Structure 1
């Protein structure tokens, strides 16, 4: 005779632990993001370089700008600080990942959130959101500070002028994109100095050197470099007139960033922490 086992419905049965919800993991990533001192230093430097240098260059060169000796539109100088603020966006995006690998914190992160796609998504949302807001605030501050000197010389640029609002919003979009681009590089390389160096080389150094390449193919290589393609959306009047239109360039830059993040995700899933 076979005994029948009856399970007591009131008995406490251990449950399998559910994966953390997106809101909980996002909040944890937010706390982690702001507890690192490099975050505040990077964002402070981003604002100082972006808004401070824009205001400074407008003050220093306002006479030449007003007389046309610079050969550029006055509006070009109202986003001048972007050239330097993008460096801090690259650095911050890299450090979000590589600092965890450097300290071994990534093991604790993956133990708490085993789904690596969720980890990458949380980091991307927090980093992109913060850099977007910081970029817009920096661009507005730089515009207000620099335009004050231009207006005193009668060459000010109004918010309603063509491309101004787009550039202020675009500054946030571009810096957020750069941060995500650097995030992908950080996951691929997992070494802070190497990832920052490669990111700066792709965005700044090679982007400028590409203009020296001969022929039509050289022009296209220059257009397709991440900094040249994406940066036009953050400029009221670009210094270089041979690139893509602002939104087309940003679309190209977005596609490049997605490719880098996709490769980073695949690598992130396959590698050990």
Structure 2
């Protein structure tokens, strides 16, 4: 027999939740992806009002969502920005120096927990002298043209990117090496990640994801990422049992399917010298740098 308490329970449909939370219809799916409690009965989605209200009070949008939806006051997305590691490399300064510059007014935006930098804004902020140059300023114009060429990749330049990952006790290191037509880009990169999964293959997927993020930050329109993960090259599958890896695979898929870029994956054994390729070996060495830096 149903109790009086059970009689009071009423499932909500999507339109009712949208009205209660005062959100747009397009936001409900994003909220569910971020963890909004819901129930799927066949093809129907239902909600409990009390659960929805409690969850929404403490809700903070995911970092991925914040970055995806960000648009600055000039209408620019994060596709036109670079992250901390890259701006440190470009400006050739330490992280401590960067933090000081940001406190003193260096142009940057904070999205969620990450800082992003627009190189054009930074150059404008720190530029000194006459921007138009003196009347006989051929050297100034030549220098500006050289800067433009070095920092803005063209459609004809398609680098080959070797990646590898290393895993130790839920610490992941990734190494990335740009080669071929990539002389206009910083060649070597390495990153450290803390993960919760004990599935070691996550380091290889994070290496691919880090390479894709660099491709986006540099504005590269076409590239081939070389990996030792034959399975992801031959049969790309998002149905991994580990939720942490599944999220990474979804990010990789979204970035590979970006119509603005032509990015492919290649298995290392299909490249000259295979796993003995010097660039692949260098990527492997870089992936272990995190053990040295702590």
Q: Could you say whether these structures have the same fold, taking a TM-score greater than 0.5 normalized by the shorter chain as the test?
A: no
Scaled by the length of structure 2, the TM-score of the pair is 0.21
Higher relative contact order (CA 8 A, sep 6+): 1
Q: 1 or 2, which has the higher helix percentage?
A: 1
Scaled by the length of structure 1, the TM-score of the pair is 0.22
